[in-house]
Structure 1
Amino acid sequence: GEIEFAWERWGGPVAAITGTNGKTTTTELTAAVLNGAGCRTVPAGNYGTAFSEVVLAGNPLDLVTLELSSFQLETIVDFRPEIAVWMNFAPDHLDRYPDVGAYLAAKLRIFENQTPDDFAVLNAAEIPEAALAARPVTFSAFGAEGADFAFEDGWILHRSERVLNFRECRLRGRHNAENAMAAMAVARCRGIDFEAMRETIRGYAAPPHRCQWVGEVGGVTFVNDSKATNLHALRSSLRGQEEPVVLIAGGKNKGLDFSELKSLAADTVTRAIAIGEIAEEICRAWHGAVPCETAATLDEAVAKAAAAAAPGQTVLFSPGTSSFDMFGGYEERGRRFAEAVARLG
């Protein structure tokens, strides 16, 4: 495979990041933090530039920061990242894999060739049940006990010491705090101190369509999280909100069970507007927990959500499934949401 081919020709250290959700933000932020602290790197792999193109360019680098999908990990042989990052895991890509176990096994290959000289940066709430040779570094924004990096009262902590006031950051939500923790953990594994990281993290804005602020109309904030194409991403987005939201969700019906989120939605959503093929199923799944109505188009959903939201509240567009029933991809879906919000004003 391409990752193995490039690895054989690179010969230097790699920080490799995988997970069902959060990979791209974490990869981009990790590269920014490392570069900001003087560790020369580029983000590559499943993120934009192929690993082999980085090697071919021959630029002087201290490390390559790779986002890796399960598909890319399927074909590795000797690939060994100095730092392997495990963001999270949830069932996905079951059109490619025969079952969840096969998908998990592909993801776990990121640790396969590591040694005790390497590091495994792990989400403490989702540590994989696998034999890990590398030294573990753990993080959690959701209260997992004993994590090296934790989140409390708006602060990121390292072994109980406050190291970053997350309220000062452009990133929002606990799930983004975890992305920041993972980036900080990688930097610490490279010997970088926290002071050298702070300015970069404070100024970093997430890539488009990932809990992206798109506007405020009538005192209501509109957030585009169109990249939430599965239930795990929707769960993370809802758990990351500071106050209950008006939610727009739905899209292609790919067999997801929204009832898994019924209890969470009851605590975090004041009203839901459901769209797409799965709209009726969402309303049935959340019946009795969340007032829910359907909308035939995204424009209609935005208008209904705006009418339902009180000043000071947030309308969150976090579909929880893919877009292909109505749009060409999550990017188009996110742009259409932003355009609909702009028309409100």
Structure 2
Amino acid sequence: MNRIVKNFINEAILTGKRGVVVGVGKSGLAAARLLDVLGAKVRVVDRNESLTEDALGALKGEAELVTGPHDKAHFADADIIVLSPGVPVKRMADALDGIPARKIVSELEFASWFIEAPVLAITGTNGKTTTTTLISEIFEHAGKRAFTGGNIGTPLCEYLLDMEPAEVIVLEVSSFQLQNCRLFKPRVGVFLNFAANHLDYHESMEEYLDAKLNLFAQMTGEDTALLHESLRETIGDRGFTNAHVEWFGPTDRFEAPNLPGEHNRSNVEAAWQAVSRFGVTEAQAAEAIRNFKPLAHRIETVAEVGGVLYVDDSKATTLDAVRAAVRSFDRPVRLLMGGVWKGGDVAAFAADVRDAVIHVGLFGASRDILEGPLSEVFPVTWDETLEAAVRRQAAEAREGEVVLLSPATSSFDQYRNYGERGDDFKRVAEALA
């Protein structure tokens, strides 16, 4: 427990205050625990009526659990309301009507009030997890103690309660987390790219972009904003930050054998530019980058059968991510797509990859959105399940081709998450071998 948390406890700043946490997930429970430690009266609310007090874990018997549709009464006495990632304020408008905006914060914002170490935060539509993990591995190789979390792994509230102090806080941050941030201020902020995504959550692309730019709103001239050169036209003249702004793009500065494609050359350069602000040398970064292993479900080679390469890119939930994956190969690509649609221009995507893709195998949901525009450019088939789609492509594929799972969608039509979808692809591909 750090000095600032202890100070809050000693001065009874939140003692006896009502803290309401929305969402019984990992981040929500971590925020509830921190509120409890700070002396607040904790109420956790969740729409899932099947939850019992067991869901509160260590807070069972300590915190109040309210399930079912959100109601004004759940929030009327709140001094602070902490939203878990993925809980959109707009869907709670009626329940939160009349609550001052200053009382509503994200778990990331709440935890950031207590952080002492400098923060390096990474956002963007695609590539966040790879870049965040790479940055952490570079720090580890350079002998610097880093905490890695936020939108991946460990919530920031949990770090405050349970972990040894770090020299650098490395955070992957999503638009969901940033939308309700007002004071969050990293030492270095990285914006990797921006494309259509989460339009099932955000009301518009402008709202989505504004959420991303919250990352830089509180930064000063002593901080650094690292922005991909593709963002110049979109945000270059918006006056969104007082930070020192630098632009980056793909380079061949480092040997990165396990990070193929131009998009990864940008991610690697972003990682280097970020860690260099914390005393890491180029030689230290180079060795870590050279030895970096790709994360699961991100352009991950699964098998090669009869000269056909099977690649799992289940994490690609946007058209921009799929575009980057397709361009990573110098082989003809048989592309597997399908799932719950999140937005984007399918016709423009098809035009961009027409020289690389030779067949599109659709599966599951979003056939009505994808099939029309794609069939104008490619041969397109549809199967109800991913397994059937993989087996169809395997039967038709020829030596030197790639069967690439890069769905451009979330997985919730048939799977609990993208990892489960990727594992299913691996199972089928490995069985072919």
TM-score clears 0.5: yes
Q: Which runs of 5+ in 1 are unaligned?
A: 142-149, 151-155, 157-162
Mapped to 2, the partners of 1:303 and 1:23 lie a distance apart of: 31
Mapped to 1, the partners of 2:404 and 2:334 lie a distance apart of: 6
* Map of 2:40 onto structure 1: none
* Map of 1:164 onto structure 2: 254
Q: Give the secondary structure class of the aligned counterpart of 2:114.
A: helix
The 1:239–1:126 alpha-carbon spacing in structure 2 relative to 1, beyond 3 Å, is farther
The 1:137–1:39 alpha-carbon spacing in structure 2 relative to 1, beyond 3 Å, is farther
- Kept in 1: contact 2:338–2:363 (CA 8 A): yes
- Kept in 2: contact 1:116–1:135 (CA 8 A): yes
Mapped to 2, the partners of 1:193 and 1:66 lie a distance apart of: 21
- Kept in 2: contact 1:174–1:241 (CA 8 A): no
Q: Aligned match of 1:119 in 211, 214, 224? A: 224
Quick one: percent identity of the two aligned structures?
37
TM-score normalized by structure 1? 0.88
Cα deviation 1:162-214 (Å, max 9, x = unaligned): x3123xx2222222222222211111122322111122111212221111111
TM-score normalized by structure 2? 0.71
* Map of 2:141 onto structure 1: 36
Larger relative CO (CA 8 A, sep 6+): 1 or 2? 1
Matches within 5 A, 1:1-345: 1-127=106-232, 128-129=235-236, 130-131=238-239, 132-141=241-250, 150=251, 156=252, 163-166=253-256, 169-254=257-342, 256-279=344-367, 281-345=369-433
Give the residue type in structure 1 aligned to 2:255. Answer: N
Deviation at 1:289, TM superposition (A): 2.1
Q: Which runs of 5+ in 2 are unaligned?
A: 1-105
Larger Rg: 2
- Kept in 2: contact 1:246–1:308 (CA 8 A): no
Give the residue type in structure 2 aligned to 1:66. Answer: L
Give the residue type in structure 1 aligned to 2:248. Answer: F
Q: Give the secondary structure class of the aligned counterpart of 2:354.
A: helix
Mapped to 1, the partners of 2:377 and 2:331 lie a distance apart of: 17
Mapped to 1, the partners of 2:382 and 2:344 lie a distance apart of: 18
Deviation at 1:326, TM superposition (A): 2.2
Give the residue type in structure 1 aligned to 2:317. Answer: T
The 1:74–1:218 alpha-carbon spacing in structure 2 relative to 1, beyond 3 Å, is same
Q: Give the secondary structure class of the aligned counterpart of 1:267.
A: coil
The 1:8–1:328 alpha-carbon spacing in structure 2 relative to 1, beyond 3 Å, is closer
Aligned length: 324
Mapped to 1, the partners of 2:370 and 2:180 lie a distance apart of: 37
- Kept in 1: contact 2:331–2:400 (CA 8 A): no
- Kept in 2: contact 1:250–1:277 (CA 8 A): yes
Q: Give the secondary structure class of the aligned counterpart of 2:428.
A: helix
Taking only aligned residues, the RMSD between alpha carbons, in angstroms, comes to 1.8
